[in-house]
Amino acid sequence: MRACKRLISLICLSGLLFSTVIGQVLPLFPVKRPESADTWQRDGWAAVEKAKAEKIRTGRAKNVILFIGDGMGVTTLTAARILEGQLRGESGEENRLSFEEFPFSALSKTYSANQQTSDSAPTMSAIISGVKTDEGVLSVNQNIVHGDYRTVQGNETKTLLEMAEEAGKSTGVVSTAKVTHATPGACYAHTADRDWESDKDISDRSRAAFDAKFPDIARQLLEFKYGNGLEVALGGGRFKFLPKGAKDPEYDVAGERLDGRDLTKEWTDKYKNAAYVWNKKDFDAVDPKKTDHLLGLFEPSHMKYEFDRQGDPAGEPSLTEMTTKAIDVLSKNKNGYFLMVEGGRIDQAHHLGNAYRALTDAIELSNAVRAAARRVSLDDTLIIVTADHSHTFNMLGYPARGNNILGLVREIGSDGEVEPNYARDAFGLPYTTLNYANGRGYTGATDLFAEGPKFCCEEPKRFLKPVTGRPDLTKVRTTDPNYEQEAMIPMKNETHGGEDVAIFATGPNAYIIRGSMEENWIFYVMADAFRFRKK
C-alpha cells in the first residue's frame, strides 16, 4: 500500500491528473527546494540575523503610501500566498507576498464605535482620521446620526490626506472600486451615509438631505477645500460623475447625476495641466511630467477583477500600473506626497463567495506594493500595508503540503504518505480546503443532527444521510475561477469577519507598527512620520 501511495504521488507530482473510481485527483505541487532539518535551522538563524541587522528609520517621512487590501484578512493572505506560489508551479506554502518581506508587522483591532464586526466606512475612517466612528459613515465622529445630514457639520474628523494638502504635499487615491466608495471616499469626504456617492443616491435615500443640497461624495472630491485639491484620483465610478442622460463612452448606459453637472469636465476646467481618462490607451498616454491633476474613471461602477481585466472592451490599467503612474505624478512635489491605494475588489469577490478572484486581486495588490517599494526611497517614504476588516473565509481540514489550495483536501496518512483518496466528511463526501462561514455557497439542509443542535461537549446520537445537503464534489471543478466555495450559513452575500487583521510596514516610523494595535493608531504612526503637529 505504501509503495502504491508513493507511485500515485509521483504521478501527481509529474503534473498529470490521476483518475480512478474515486474521481479526479488534482496534482500536488512540488516543494521548490530540497529540505531537511538543516534547512529549517539555517533559515531560522538567517531570519534572526536579518532582523537584528534591520535598519530602524526614525527620521521624518517625506512621503507616505498606504495600501489597503479591502477585506484582506489573515486567511486571505495565507491562501493568496499559496496560490501565487502554485501558479508558478511550486507548493506555495513557502512563498511570501511582497509586503510579507517588510520588517515590521502588527495586528489591528477592527471593531468600530458601535460594531464588533465592521464595514469599510468606519474602519477606513479610523485609519485615515485617527478616530473610530459608527457604521456607515465617513470621516465623522460618533456623535453623528447615520443618515442625518444635519449632524455632519461640527463632527467632521480631519483626514491625513487633508492634512497633507494643508502642508503643501500632493495627494492621491487609487482603487479598483469606485473612487467614491467607502475606502477612497473616507480620505476626502465627510458624510452621514457612505452610500451618498452621487446626488441621485442622496435623493433615493434622504429627500431632506437632497433638498438641502448636501454635497455627495463625488461632488466633495471636486469641491475639496484643502490645498490645491487632490492631484490623482484613479478607479471606477463614472456613473457618479456624469449627468443623467449623458452617454457613457464605453457602454450603452448613461450617467446618473440629477444636478446636470459633468464632474469629469469640471475636473479638467478647474485645474491647470489636468487630464481625465477613461481607457487604457489614454491612461498610457498620460505624461506624468506634464500632468499635475489626473482623474481616471475606467468603469461606470467598480473596475474589473484582475482575472477579468483583459476582457475589458476599452482596456483598464492594472492596480500596479495605476500605482506607479500615481507615484510619478505625485513625486514631482518637492514637499512630498500622501497616496492611498486600495485593492477594493478583494472584498467584493469574498462577498460573492468567489475565492479565486479575491485571491488573484490580493496577489495583484502585492504586485503593486512591490512596484511602489522599488520606485521610492525607503529612507524617506513610509509604506504601510493593511486591511480594513476581514471576511468569514476559512482554511480547513488537514491538506497535504502542495495540495491545490483551490482543490479538494487530501491528507497525510498514518504511514506518512499522501492519501490517494480525498478526505471525507461525516456523510462520506469530499470537501475543499477553502470555504466560507456564510454566503451564497450554501448547499442545503441536512439531517445530520436529526434531534436538534448539540452543545459542547455532547456526542451526536446518530448520523443520518443528507436530505438536500452537500454535493459530491469529486466531479466538480473547484479550481474553476467562477466556482463559489461552499458556505455553512445561507446569506444573499457573504459577510465581513470581525477578527484582527495584519499590518505590515517599512520606512520611517515603520518600527512603531508592532504588537496589538487599535486600528485608528495607524493614523498616528503616519501623522507622526510626517511630523504633523499633535492636537
CA dist list (Å): 15 to 18, 88, 421: 9, 13, 17
Q: Taking Cα atoms as reference points, which of 323, 321, 317 lies closest to residue 339?
A: 323
Do 76 and 346 meet the contact criterion of CB atoms below 8 Å apart? yes
Residue 1: all three cell numbers together: 500500500
Q: 313 Cβ partners below 8 Å, 6+ apart? A: 250, 251
Q: CA 357: distance to chain centroid?
A: 11
Q: How is 98-126 classified by DSSP, letter by letter?
A: GGGGSSEEEEEE---SS-SS--HHHHHHH
318 classed as catalytic: no
CA 34 distance to own-chain centroid? 34
Q: Is the dihedral of CA 38, 43, 44, 48 positive or negative?
A: positive
Q: In this structure, what C-alpha cell is assigned to residue 366?
A: 502585492
Between helix 319-330 and helix 355-375 the angle, nearest 10°, is 30
Of 120, 125, 198, 318, the catalytic one is: 120
Contacts of 28 (CB under 8 A, 6+ apart): 9, 12, 13, 91, 400, 401, 402, 403, 404, 410, 418
Please give the Cα distance from 518 to 126 (Å, whole number): 9
226 torsion bin: left (phi>0), alpha (psi -120 to 50), beta (else):
beta
Quick one: which of 141, 251, 237, 225 has its CA closest to 182?
237
For every residue of 165-206, DSSP letters joined together read: HHTT-EEEEEEEEETTSHHHHHHH--BS-TT--SHHHHHHH-
Q: How far is CA 411 from the centre of its chain?
A: 30
| Chain position carrying cell 452617454 | 247
Catalytic residues: 120
